[in-house]
Amino acid sequence: MHKTKPYCTDESWHGRADCRHCAIRGTVLFSVLNTAELDRALLDIDNQCFESGSEVFSQDANDGYVYTVRAGCLKMVHKLEGGASRIVRMHYPGDAVGLEALLGLPYRHSAVVMQKADICRIPVGVIQALELNNAHLHEQVMRRWQASLDEAESFITDLNTGHAETRLARLLLKLAAHSERTCIPDLLREDIAAIIGVTTETASRLMADFRRRKLIKDKDGRTMKCDQEGLKNLI
């Protein structure tokens, strides 16, 4: 990833509005921004768009960055010994990803884009430096950690419990909860399988069945609309 431009410190930047979800921005910007030191630190934050399918970082790598999601959707993919892999959680706008880097640890999973994403890359040193003098940022980091834990645990209780049809319904509802107007990404059948713990064929059969029952409708190329009420009846 190459250095682009210092969005965060540019008050006239058009994308500024989305910064309201950012742990760094949402808490620090409006409290202690006016120091030269802070402005300097923020220059190290980079921003980039990723296309669907591209990898933000790779399992076992250790590059010293934490990432925040401004737009789009990521999957955290864990490779298993047998060559197969499972998706252990997803991340949405406002989430921080790769927090283990704050502890100097290698990434536990690969982060791969599921839906075109706008992502900020923050060197861990920046966060650590700001945290020293800012308890509020510290709390925001902990909140992001807890959010990852909540998401991983909901994968166990919601997406790995009950019949496959129920699990798929819960997955679609979860995606809808993070989308505008029930417009959700049309996931790869392989990804659905890796999330709800079935084979690709079963995922395909279920999705085809849901479409026939009009629980989901194709919108354009990579998104669809879903019938939330109908899906809730399956749970």
Partner DNA sequence: CGCAACCTTGAAGCGGGTCAATATTCGTGG
Partner DNA sequence: CCACGAATATTGACCCGCTTCAAGGTTGCG
Q: Given the rule CB under 7 A, which residues bind DNA? A: 163-165, 188-190, 197-202, 204-205, 207-208, 211, 221
As measured in angstroms, the least distance from the Cβ of 152 to its own copies is: 5
Residue 67 vs 210, nearer CB to DNA: 210
188 binding partner (options DNA, its own copies, none; Cβ < 5 to 8 Å by kind): DNA
33 binding partner (options DNA, its own copies, none; Cβ < 5 to 8 Å by kind): none
CA atoms 188, 90, 176, 118: torsion sign: negative
As measured in angstroms, the least distance from the Cβ of 201 to DNA is: 4
Residues 148-187 that bind its own copies (CB under 8 A): 148-150, 152-153, 155-157, 160-161
Residue 202 vs 228, nearer CB to DNA: 202
Residue 1 vs 164, nearer CB to DNA: 164
Lookup: tokens for 223: 């998104």
211 binding partner (options its own copies, DNA, none; Cβ < 5 to 8 Å by kind): DNA
